Amino acid sequence: MAKTKKTKVAVIYNDSGEDFYEKIKDVDPNSLGFEPEYNINVATVTEEYEAIANALMEEGYDVDLININEDIQVLIDLLKNNPPDVAFNLIEFYRDDPTLEHLVAGLYALYGVKFTGAGPFTLALCQRKGMTKQLLMANNVPTPRYKLLAEPKMPGRHGLHYPLIVKPAREDASSGVEKSSVVYDFDQLKERIAKTFEEYEPPILVEEFIEGREFHVSVLGNDPPEVLPIIEFDFSELPSDHPQIISYDAKWNPLEESFHRVHAICPAKLTKRLEKKVKTAVLEAYKITGCHDYARLDLRITNDNKVFVLEVNPNPDLTEGVSYMDSAEHFDLSFGETLAKIVECALSRPAPSIPVLQKTSEKDNSSEVQN
């Protein structure tokens, strides 16, 4: 009996330069000035992607792990000359610019190669927080009221209710979110706006800060998509001067105390009625933003149980044991099983059908695309 050909999966990422987590591997936890709750030896980017590739191999796929290393020609050559059955797209930036993420994803479509996660439109949309919020509001999905600033000016009568939170409108992964991002009066607001404009390109988002509980809600699948067990964050151990938010340091920096003082609770304790309300908002936001295969949405819920979608995150972090994968584990899916489901979701969708960059015959070189 002939052997069944394995599905060929290319796990594709972009990494160059120093890795922060590699640099801190030798840091002594006793030197931090506080008692760390979690291990400070966080996996490097390369280690994370190797873990994904190895898990997919264990699930029976033929896997290549490919770092384009800031050379887009590597990706073009792969898609043109040796296309996989599916590309597991883990590229989040190009030339250190996250706003180019959607353009890189567009190459898969142009070459007709199936790929995991969101398409170029959704990646571009969700990276523009103001535009995403407009779409949510137009479809009656509740999201905090806001203003977008193209320059560092804000009138005293701005129509928003304090407290407010100030953050870059075209960054992800909590970039630009610090404990001083939440402001309680106009003087603090002006100061924070000025600082954010100094460090980030406009536009800058100023939105009403929803006081209450914060959640990560992960979604898996397409037809139909399914909400995984919901994560709530416990902020009770944060220092008194730190607002109850997931700042950049709390999410990513194991050398900071806030990283060790925010705890994930999964599954979150919600009434059936409130859980249904959350799932309805999440699935509607997933659908109208055009997400595919998997995504994570950030929500806050007020003390009187009003649900607000903060952000839609297509192609979220897939590190084992963290947020998305934590939810999947509580859904009785292993790390490898979750990755395999994402691959199968991508395979089940029609291949992109934009016949622009097909190989040409020797008889017709006039239409050959010049790279």
Return the number of other C-beta atoms located less than 10 Å from residue 355's C-beta: 8
Q: Is pLDDT of 232 > 80?
A: yes
- Enumerate the β-bridge partners of residue 175: none
Residue 353: predicted pLDDT: 65
pLDDT higher at 42 or 167 = 167
The predicted model gives 54-72 an average pLDDT of 97
Give the span between the Cα atoms of 116 and 222, in whole angstroms. 12
8-124: what fold?
Rossmann fold (3.40.50)
The predicted model gives 127-133 an average pLDDT of 95
Lowest average pLDDT, out of 199-203, 204-208, 217-221, 365-369, goes to 365-369
Mean pLDDT over each residue of the chain, to the nearest integer: 92
Residue 354: predicted pLDDT: 56
Going through 124-211 in order, the beta strands assigned E by DSSP cover 146-149, 164-168, 182-183, 204-208
Q: Is pLDDT of 329 > 90?
A: yes
The predicted model gives 56-83 an average pLDDT of 96
Residue 362: predicted pLDDT: 41
Q: Where are the domains of the chain?
A: 8-124, 145-209
- Residue 354, classed as helix, strand or coil, is coil
Give the span between the Cα atoms of 226 and 318, in whole angstroms. 17
Give the span between the Cα atoms of 6 and 115, in whole angstroms. 17
Which pLDDT band, with edges at 50, 70 and 90, does 52 fall under? very high
Q: Is pLDDT of 339 > 90?
A: yes
Residue position matching structure tokens 């980030």: 200
The predicted model gives 199-223 an average pLDDT of 96
Q: Is pLDDT of 365 > 70?
A: no
Q: Is pLDDT of 237 > 90?
A: yes
Q: Is the pTM of this model over 0.85?
A: yes
Residues 289-302 have pLDDT tens digits of 999 999 999 999 99
The predicted model gives 344-353 an average pLDDT of 88
According to CATH, the superfamily of the domain at 145-209 is ATP-grasp fold, A domain (3.30.1490.20)
Residue 363: predicted pLDDT: 42
Residue 19: predicted pLDDT: 85
Which pLDDT band, with edges at 50, 70 and 90, does 1 fall under? very low
